[in-house]
């Protein structure tokens, strides 16, 4: 296992939609272990594979003393609304209020190919949406309201 270097904006891999994992191979198992080890650090809630330069639909998470991963996640349900501070490992030091659903439910698979469900409200719901956005080639500042987005883009140019 290894702690991987996190890619930051404007790295183009962060804007590239990720490919589905077609087969669980030893390389995929190693990638999952690396993602989990890399996210297992205080202040890190989630980490998508493209944030470490791998264009595959996998993310790891570390929320509420729960450490895990999901392969090929897709959001199947969103409910409610939350509006709060959000940050990103690929945008270090930038935190902006972002509107998200309060509850999110994603379905995917584990390393044995079994269907798994990852769901939660609050921070966990936010993390699921944030990481699935990464896997679709989006970053959270894309979701900011106009004035906040302009502030974020100005900060990125500095």
pLDDT tens, 91-101? 999 999 999 99
Kindly state whether residue 132 falls inside one of the protein's structural domains: yes
- Tell me how many domains the chain contains: 1
Q: Which pTM was predicted?
A: 0.95
Q: What is the pLDDT of residues 101-116, one digit of tens each?
A: 999 999 999 999 999 9
Q: Annotated catalytic, 131?
A: yes
Candidates 20, 66, 86, 131; catalytic one: 131
4 located within any domain: no
Residue 36 in domain = yes
Instruction: Indicate whether 135 belongs to any domain.
Output: yes
Q: Please indicate, yes or no, if residue 74 is contained in any of the structural domains.
A: yes
Residue 60 lies in a domain: yes
Distance separating alpha carbons of residues 115 and 117, to the nearest angstrom: 7
Asked, for residue 5, whether it belongs to a domain, the answer is no
Dump pLDDT digits (tens) for 25-60: 999 999 999 999 999 988 899 999 999 999 999 999
- What CATH code is carried by the domain that includes residue 45? 3.90.45.10
Within a domain: residue 7?
no
| Domain interval for residue 52 | 12-157
């Amino acid at each position: 296992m290894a702690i991987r270097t996190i890619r930051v904006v404007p790295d183009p891999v962060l804007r590239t939609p990720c490919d589905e994992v077609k087969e669980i191979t030893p390389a995929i198992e190693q990638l999952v272990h690396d993602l989990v080890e890399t996210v297992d650090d205080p202040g890190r809630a989630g980490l998508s594979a493209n944030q470490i330069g791998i264009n595959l639909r996998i993310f790891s998470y570390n929320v509420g003393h729960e450490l895990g991963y999901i392969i090929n996640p897709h959001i199947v349900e969103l409910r409610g609304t939350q509006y709060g501070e959000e940050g990103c490992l690929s945008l270090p030091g930038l935190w902006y209020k972002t509107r998200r659903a309060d509850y999110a439910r994603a379905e995917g698979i584990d390393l044995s190919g079994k269907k798994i469900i990852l769901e939660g409200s609050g921070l966990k719901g936010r993390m699921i949406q944030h990481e699935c956005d990464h896997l679709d080639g989006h970053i959270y500042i894309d979701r900011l309201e106009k004035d906040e987005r302009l502030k974020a883009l100005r900060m990125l140019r500095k």
